[in-house]
Amino acid sequence: MSSADRVQESVLPFDSEGRRLWGIVSRPTRHGGASRAAVLIVTGGPQYRVGSHRMFVLLARRLAQAGYPTLRFDYTGMGDSEGELCTFADAGADLRNALAALRAACPDAPGVVVWGLCDAASAALMFLAREPELLGIVAANPWARSDATLAAARVKHYYLQRLLQPDFWRKLLGGGVRWRQSIGSFWRDLRGARTATRPEADARALPFQERMAQGLRDMQGPLLLVMSGNDLTAREFEEYAGSSHAWRGLLSTDRVRRVDLVEADHTFSQRRWLSQVEDATLDWLAELRPRARSPRATPIT
């Protein structure tokens, strides 16, 4: 029996600020015992609800098989949803309405867990961390890019790794590397990396990375942090969290569990990597402590 045969899937339309958004709810065909948390899968953008190499379809069905109903949906302007395409920084209304729609579709669930990749993880921390229905967040390779963090990640990870590759030296000795341009790029990144720990020049505009930190600080539930070893985005997040005053100590608390997949890339493109992510998610979900159900169960308009 295939995974699709063990899961019931249905279309779920819902409104967000006058726009019709579309999602897919996955439920187990048979499930006994106590109701389990519902999971809102938020895609990293810009991509629609299927995801790279169908990762969100596979993830949703695996969770549903284990008894966790899921919703994956298209942001405004993406896939089948109406409106102009929005970025993660403007996705607050979509996320809150998707969460409320999932709660209405799964009234017996004790709450909702949000599973986000890349900037979807960032958006979840920014916009959903204070929602009373939220039980916790799974953040996979969160997005925290700035010019300084990108430069620092390149200096620490890209250039050193490149120097250790035999292919680089073969190209260099064969004249295939423009070494003057490469040295120039290195020094530009090195200068940029030195600004990574400097305070923001304009304190009036809170950077999105600090809004993420504030969300994690205010969130009542736990965080599962999944980090790929072969991913510059993950390294940038480490750079920012390690140098930012707003993030100081947040990832070392007991309510944060970190899982490192040393060989995996950004989207867990090999099936064994995605299986590891699914296993880690299910282990973490099994330890959640549900809270009392919030009375709100209708989408915000």
Residue 177 has pLDDT above 70, yes or no: no
Grade residue 168 by pLDDT with cuts at 50, 70 and 90.
Answer: very low
Q: Can you give the pLDDT at residue 89?
A: 92
Q: Can you give the pLDDT at residue 6?
A: 84
pTM (two decimals): 0.80
DSSP 8-state secondary structure symbol assigned to residue 201: S
Write out 34-48 in H/E/C secondary structure: CCCCEEEEECCCCCC
Residue 199 has pLDDT above 50, yes or no: no
Residue 41 has pLDDT above 90, yes or no: yes
Grade residue 119 by pLDDT with cuts at 50, 70 and 90.
Answer: very high
User: Using CA atoms, how far apart are residues 197 and 152, in angstroms rounded to an integer?
Assistant: 10
**Domain spanning 4-145+207-286: which CATH class is it, in words?**
alpha beta
**Of 55, 215, 56, nearest in space to 123 by CA:** 215
Q: In this predicted model, what pLDDT tens digit does every residue of 67-84 receive, in sequence order?
A: 999 999 999 999 999 999
Q: Can you give the pLDDT at residue 291?
A: 64
Contact 3, 62 (CB under 8 A): yes
Q: Can you give the pLDDT at residue 146?
A: 74
**β-strands 38-42, 256-261: how paired?**
unpaired
User: Using CA atoms, how far apart are residues 15 and 94, in angstroms rounded to an integer?
Assistant: 8
Q: Can you give the pLDDT at residue 44?
A: 81
DSSP 8-state secondary structure symbol assigned to residue 107: T
User: Using CA atoms, how far apart are residues 77 and 85, in angstroms rounded to an integer?
Assistant: 4
**β-strands 38-42, 7-16: how paired?**
unpaired
Residue 197 has pLDDT above 80, yes or no: no
Q: Can you give the pLDDT at residue 290?
A: 73
Q: In this predicted model, what pLDDT tens digit does every residue of 46-68 receive, in sequence order?
A: 788 999 999 999 999 999 999 99
Q: Can you give the pLDDT at residue 297?
A: 43
Ranked by mean pLDDT, which of 6-20, 140-154, 163-177 comes out on top? 6-20
Over residues 97-101, the mean pLDDT reads 98
Over residues 210-238, the mean pLDDT reads 96
**CATH 3.40.50.1820 domain extents, the chain:** 4-145+207-286
